[in-house]
Chains A and B, each alone.
Chain A
């Protein structure tokens, strides 16, 4: 599904990713943990195609195709989804207009026609209900006036609408209250399938009780420095990153 090989990336003259390797197979859930500033969000942005970063070495294959040459929207319609750590507000662009444009872009890439209004309304109603997103919220411009937790739920709702083959969730659990964490996790679990993979970036082992990962990785200083099963997360929770990070005491 997703293969990241020896990925090096920089912003300006600062190297942030320093030879990162990661393979995610179909149907798997991988958790990435790691200290602040390790490069987790950078990795997610590079996968999604943000052009602030310069990839100096390595490749990223999605279903065998190098996606680093593709535009962000092409990556999205090829099945890659990023739930942003900090979802942005888009004043003046109605949520419904935005969601419909996103859905239609995916349909177009599949060679399908535009979604009809009744179909669109139905799919929005179903998906938003599952994620406790009120129709009142969807009447606002994208993310405008949403609370932190509402923005995160909105990300998961978009994921559920777009049905990606690989989803990267960047700290989707941060800022969620206990009930919302459950709602979001249920939303993710409902999408689990043998064809769909997830990369879940988090600081908290608690999330992994709800979304149970197949693998846990430690990302530190631009590299994966340790990998293991879900028990690795418990160990990190207990002992911190000290054993994995050279310069942390």
Chain B
């Protein structure tokens, strides 16, 4: 609720969701893991949240995704998960051969995680343990990069983070097997979780990290997952996030990454689930001549809302970044893309290309795109584009004229449309799973 006073300044009253968060933090902080240093970090983050409250449409970065209006209540903190039910979830990516680490209801479940025979140079730990032991490297790694510093979702996560996975990969280690962090919320009643993962990849190392976000039921779970990655000089890292929750769920995911010199980093976000989802990516090139690719595919139906917000800063010379986000929006769903590329004056020879496209399948579907470039260097190649439209009638007619039904023709065209982004995913099992899910989604479409 808001009221305006006659002086024209606005007094903002707390929403019920904000009130809940304000009550929860003091009540819970004593039971949250961490040494005193962590407690003061949490306090600082919570104070930052308290000052601004939930972000709303007059905050530029949240213009299209008004949490104050859309988040009516805050779910209770998640209780202990039922290990059996979590274990019974079918693998999200069949055949990916990944080392799977399960984080259920905000807790790393060692008994369900595949921690045996870790490759030399690889360590996987629970964040809660690291916080309790005030591990200096972990505490330092919690500090967000500048792009994410004033992000409210991240601040709330810092205040409430209960656990998560800390992965460290030593210099030069070439990890064949992907690491999969499976985030699961279990339980029949709505539950809130705050998970923080840290992935630190040493110089010259290679790794694939897959994150899945799922629930065991269709309760209105709320998850806030932050993954912070550091990609060492010359390292090659693929990151994939699959949002697969039922449409009752609210999902905030944040990826922050700093990319060292000569490194290659690629991330792909599949926004296939949750009724209200925001996927944030904050990236910074910290060393010269690195390449980064930021891609995603969004599939929306019903009244779902999915927001992709991306900030990439080229803080070094000669880096190349590619941004490609594609959305298919049906019914009365709403897709949002905000992308910003910063090129400060010293980042000469930057090559950055950002593209976003939305395919609207119904008259009620909406797509908002806000691509921005902020360039202060003069010797750069940067571009951006945004398109929005329906399926091409001439393409459809050609296929129909060959006897192919409208449903089948649309399916082939939609898969082709998303394929531009999906085909770039290196992991074959993930690609197959994505096509499979898209086909299933299309199969459920009416008309």
Determine which of B395, B397, B415, B420 lies in contact with A50 in the assembled complex, contact meaning CB atoms within 8 Å: B397
| Interface bracket on A | 20 to 34
Cβ of B447 to closest chain A Cβ, rounded Å:
14
Residues of B near A109 (CB, < 8 A) are: 403
A37–B333 alpha-carbon span in the complex (Å): 43
A90–B403 CB distance below 8 A: no
B416 CB to closest chain A CB (Å) equals: 3
B405 touches A73 (CB 8 A): yes
Stretch of B117-125, B334-342, B406-414 on the interface side: B406-414
Residue contact A73 to B420, C-beta cutoff 8 Å: no
CA distance A39 to B409 in the complex (A): 28
Q: Does residue B376 face the partner (Cβ distance < 8 Å to A)?
A: no
In Å, the complex CA distance between A6 and B409 comes to 33
Complex formed: what's the CA distance from A106 to B405 in Å?
10
Give the complex CA separation of A139 and B412 in angstroms: 16
Is B403 in contact with A88, judged by CB distance below 8 angstroms? no
A-B interface pairs (CB < 8 A), number: 72
List residues of chain A with CB within 8 A of the CB of B413.
90, 92-93
Question: Is A90 a contact partner of B401 (Cβ separation < 8 A)?
Answer: no
**Residue A48 at the B interface, CB < 8 A?**
yes
State A76–B400 Cα separation when bound (angstroms).
8
Whether, in the assembled complex, A82 has its beta carbon less than 8 Å from a beta carbon of chain B, the answer is yes
Report whether A49 and B403 are in contact in the complex, using a CB–CB cutoff of 8 Å.
no
Stretch at the interface among A15-23, A94-102, A207-215, A220-228: A94-102
Question: Contact at A105–B404, with CB atoms within 8 Å?
Answer: yes
Within 8 Å CB of A101, what residues of B?
399, 402, 404, 408, 412
Query: What is the CA–CA distance of A102 and B399 in the complex, to the nearest angstrom?
Result: 8
Contact indicator A102/B400 (Cβ below 8 Å)? no
Q: Given A50-B397, A84-B398, A101-B408, answer yes or no on A91-B403 (Cβ-Cβ < 8 Å).
A: no
- Residues of B within 8 Å of A71, CB to CB, are 400, 406
Known contacts A50-B397, A76-B401: does B406 contact A90 (CB below 8 Å)?
no
Q: Taking the nearest CB of chain A, how far is it from the CB of B78, in angstroms?
A: 41
Residue of A nearest to B400 (CB): A72
The CA of A220 and the CA of B55, in the complex, are separated in Å by: 66
CA distance A93 to B420 in the complex (A): 11
Interface contact B412-A105, CB-CB below 8 Å = no
Does B417 belong to the interface (CB within 8 Å)? yes
A158 within 8 A of B: yes
Tell me if A162 is interfacial: C-beta within 8 Å of chain B.
yes
Task: Assess whether A92 is in contact with B403, with CB atoms less than 8 Å apart.
Answer: no
Q: Does B394 contact A (CB under 8 A)?
A: yes
Given A50-B397, A72-B397, A90-B395: A158 in contact with B402 (beta carbons within 8 A): yes
Instruction: Give chain B nearest CB distance to A81 CB in angstroms.
Output: 8
Residues on A with C-beta less than 8 A from B402 are 73, 76, 98, 101-102, 105, 158, 162
Asked if A185 CB lies within 8 Å of chain B CBs, one says no
Contact of A93 (CB < 8 Å), options: B397, B400, B401, B416: B416
Would you give the 0/1 interface string for A36-56, flagging 1 where the beta carbon is closer than 8 Å to chain B? 000000000000111000000
Given contacts A92-B420, A93-B413, A98-B412, contact A76 B403 (CB under 8 A): yes
Which of B399, B404, B405, B416 sits near A92, CB closer than 8 Å? B416
Question: Residues of A contacting B403 with CB < 8 Å?
Answer: 73, 76-77, 102, 105-106, 109, 162
In the assembled complex, the CB of A31 is this many whole angstroms from the nearest CB of chain B, namely 21
> Could you say which of A76, A82, A87, A92 contacts B417, with CB atoms under 8 Å apart?
A92
Known: A90-B416, A91-B416. A105 touches B395 (CB 8 A): no
Query: CA separation between A88 and B396, bound complex, in Å?
Result: 10
**B417 cross-chain contacts in A, Cβ below 8 A:** 92
- Complex alpha-carbon distance, A71 and B413, angstroms: 19
> Would B404 and A73 count as touching, CB distance under 8 A?
yes
Instruction: Judge if B344 is at the interface, Cβ distance under 8 Å.
Output: no
Most buried by A among B403, B405, B420: B403
Which chain B positions have C-beta within 8 A of A88? Answer: 394-395, 398
A48 touches B401 (CB 8 A): yes
Nearest-neighbour CB distance to chain B for A211, whole angstroms, equals 21
CA distance A11 to B417 in the complex (A): 30
Distance in angstroms between the alpha carbons of A101 and B419 in the assembled complex: 18
Contacts of A91 in B (CB 8 A): 416
Q: Are B406 and A97 in contact (CB under 8 A)?
A: no
Q: Give bound CA distance, A81 to B419, whole Å.
A: 29
12 pairs, A vs B, C-beta closer than 8 Å: A49-B400, A49-B401, A73-B405, A76-B402, A88-B394, A90-B395, A90-B399, A101-B408, A102-B402, A102-B404, A158-B402, A162-B403
Top 4 A-B pairs, shortest CB-CB distance = A92-B416, A76-B403, A72-B400, A105-B403
Additional A-B contact list (5), CB under 8 Å, known A50-B397, A90-B395: A76-B400, A92-B420, A93-B413, A97-B412, A105-B405
